[in-house]
Structures are given as structure tokens and as C-alpha cells.
Chains A and B, each alone.
Chain A
């Protein structure tokens, strides 16, 4: 059974940093692209970042480019999202996903507020 477990969320002040982790199991992690998608409270879904299976290439929308960094450790079956210069509009539940949308974690809440 595929499992994706996110950790690292919480309350952070604007301008500060936070790093999310996602531990994967139930599939061969290094065979798949991985992504992060977020959902602001009561809103729809927004893609945040993707990384190739080797980790050699990464992709971001303009809304987070230059502030967020996706990375992975294939030896540890773990995906990361480093979030810098956080803004109030980054407040959301962040989901780790296999590929773009094949499997989803339970999500982790990030709240950016002073």
C-alpha cells in the first residue's frame, strides 16, 4: 500500500523559513517524480513544485519560484520542501503527491502569521 506521510508544518512568522518532509513507502520511490500541492483554507488546489525521479530537475510555478526548493533523498525515501521568505498567502495545507496526482499524503498545515 502506498503511504505518504508529511511532517514539519506549523505556525511561522512572515519572512521566516520552514522545511516540510514526506516519507514515502509502498512503492519504489526512485522510480517516480514527486510533487507538492497546497490548498489554502476553504480554497482549491495549487501545484507548488515537482522533482524528477533522480532529483536532477525541479519545477515551480511563479508564485513560489526563488523562495521554495523541492529536493529528495532516494536512499531515505524522503521528499522535502524548503520554504523561505514565507508570506501570509502561503498559509495552506501542503500535500505530498506521487507524480502529479496519483497518490496523496494526509497533508500538513502551514500557517504564516505574526
Chain B
């Protein structure tokens, strides 16, 4: 199975600070069809996860543009340019290139 390693496990930030989360895959996530099925989710406390970024860098409708995704192959990054209070929670990367689909262990973003 593909292992997604997220770092750091916990991230402390102040409001307005820019932060990055890394997601490294044990295998390339480039599919034979040319797509890379690596997505980013946010789970706020007590809520269901929500999709932020899909296919590495595409912003889901309604998601603020302070969120951005980048990367290729095995290394991917989620960046938040100016953390806001509503951004606190656990961030997950998930891959759908290789069966079975797998999730990273999560990165908890908290206020410093």
C-alpha cells in the first residue's frame, strides 16, 4: 500500500502567519492517465472533513485562495498564506492513484 507521510504532525501558528504542510508518498502518484490523484482535506474540530485542494493544485469551489497546493511525483505541499482562525483543525492528504486509497496521518494546526 502507498504510505503518505505528513510533516509536521503538529503546527503552531499565529494569525496571519504563512505555513506549509508536507505530504511525501512512498510511490509516485502520477497515474498512467497523466493525472496525479493527490488531494488535501481539512477537518475542523467536531466536523466532517472538507475538500480544499484536488489533483495537487486545483482549488475546490468556495475555498479561500490563501490555500494552495503544489508538488509532483512523491513530494507535495499545502501552503496557507496568512492563517485565519477558521483554518484551525487537522489537515489530511489522500491519494487515489494506487489501490487501496490511502490517507496521511494528519497535521494538526493550532494557535500559538
Contacts and interface: CB of A to CB of B under 8 A. Distances in A.
Interface of A: 35, 44-47, 50, 59-62, 95, 100-107
Contacts of A45: 41, 49, 92, 94, 103, 106
B22 to A, nearest CB: 16
Secondary structure of the B side of the interface?
loop
Contacts, number: 50
* Best-surrounded residue of A35, A47, A102 (most CB of chain B within 10 A): A47
Interface residues of B, number: 21
Interface of B: 1, 37, 39, 41, 48-51, 54, 60, 92, 94, 96, 99-106
Given A45-B92, A45-B94, A95 B49 contact: yes
Contact of B102 (A47, A50, A62): A47
B100 A101 contact: no
Nearest to A33: B96
Given A95-B48, A101-B51, A104-B49, A44 B100 contact: no
Given A101-B51, A103-B51, A47 B100 contact: yes
Contacts of A107: 48
Nearest to A104: B48
A61 B100 contact: yes
Contact of B94 (A60, A61, A101): A101
